[in-house]
Amino acid sequence: MAAITAALVKELRETSGAGMMDCKKALTETDGDVTAAVDWLRTKGLATAAKKSGRVASEGLVGVAVDGANGAMVEVNSETDFVARNEQFQGFVSTLAKLALTSNGDVDALNAMDYPDAGRTVAEELTQMIATIGENMNIRRVHVAHADGGEVGAYVHGAVADGLGKIGVLVTGKGDGAAEFGKQVAMHVAATNPASLSRDDLDPAIVEREKEVLTEQARESGKPDNIIEKMIVGRINKFYGEVCLLEQVFVIDGENKVSKAAQAAGVEVTGFTRFGLGEGIEKVEEDFAAEVAAVANA
């Protein structure tokens, strides 16, 4: 049998786009013949996976897993919402969320992990999924939350299965019942999408931009500068109440600020992270009528 060298594996990977372990297996099955190995991969559907990598993937699922003081969240994208209802895909995302608990929030580290009972890495399992399901997919991001001396609360909005949905939120907190209250805060975060925990954490650039807009609006009213300065102070405080979690009105009771509700619950909210599926991805706008016309003309 021909020796399966690293150079051969590299050559096959570049030719087919398949994962390293799949390439090694293909070369083993074909006695080191690269051409035959490409055909072997094609019969398994693995060589076509790379061709799908350029297609926009903005659908999919957010997966959440919590283990006491630790929580993890992943976003795995697919091309269509139909895949999100696929049980195989759901199982993949759920497994990744659990694996992510020890990933330090690093996508590359998660990709390099062994996928359970598969004999492949996570990245190679993803390639297998692309070949099997027939859509481009990618692990877009991962976050790990640690509640030092506390607990993590979690919420998934638009859930299609346990811990899987369209929006995922992790909230860290301290105090008795931090996980339970944290879940309520996570529901609030899913609804309001705050920019920061408190005004101290808010990006100064966001504040400055808001001040510029408010100042320009006030100047157009013709008011003098000394009046404008007082107006800006009041409006910026209102802005903080809109974008800072602890200063927002708690959607659960509709009356108290989140900070006051937390105090009443005996919990200190220390942080949060929110993943909205596909946010920030430029989606391809499809003209269905033009597509039908093109097919008809063909």
Query: Does some domain include residue 1?
Result: no
- Do 65 and 144 lie in one domain? The reply is yes
- Do 68 and 156 lie in one domain? The reply is yes
- Do 225 and 257 lie in one domain? The reply is no
- Do 129 and 260 lie in one domain? The reply is yes
- Do 149 and 65 lie in one domain? The reply is yes
- Do 68 and 189 lie in one domain? The reply is yes
**Domain hosting residue 87, numbered range:** 59-193+253-276
- Where residue 90 falls (left for φ over 0; alpha for ψ -120 to 50; beta otherwise) is alpha
CATH number of the domain encompassing residue 260:
3.30.479.20
Query: Does some domain include residue 286?
Result: no
Buried b (16+ CB within 10 A) or exposed e, 173-182: bbbeebbebb
How many structural domains compose the chain?
3
pLDDT at residue 247, rounded to an integer: 96
Angle at 170 (CA atoms; ends 164, 172), nearest 5 degrees: 155
- Do 189 and 79 lie in one domain? The reply is yes
Query: Does some domain include residue 239?
Result: yes
pLDDT beyond 70 at 17: no
Query: Does some domain include residue 115?
Result: yes
Query: Does some domain include residue 281?
Result: no
Please report how the helices 20-29 and 34-44 are oriented relative to each other, as an axis angle in degrees rounded to 10.
120
Summary mean pLDDT of the chain: 86
Give the model confidence (pLDDT) of 171-230 as tens digits: 999 999 999 999 999 999 999 999 999 999 999 999 888 888 888 877 777 777 788 788
Give the model confidence (pLDDT) of 78-101 as tens digits: 988 888 889 999 999 999 999 999
- Do 130 and 81 lie in one domain? The reply is yes
CATH number of the domain encompassing residue 214:
1.10.286
- Do 128 and 30 lie in one domain? The reply is no
- Do 173 and 30 lie in one domain? The reply is no
* 3 state SS of 171: strand
Residue whose structure tokens are 């993890």: 72
CATH number of the domain encompassing residue 13:
1.10.8.10
- Do 80 and 175 lie in one domain? The reply is yes
- Do 36 and 151 lie in one domain? The reply is no
Give the model confidence (pLDDT) of 118-135 as tens digits: 999 999 999 988 888 888
Query: Does some domain include residue 290?
Result: no
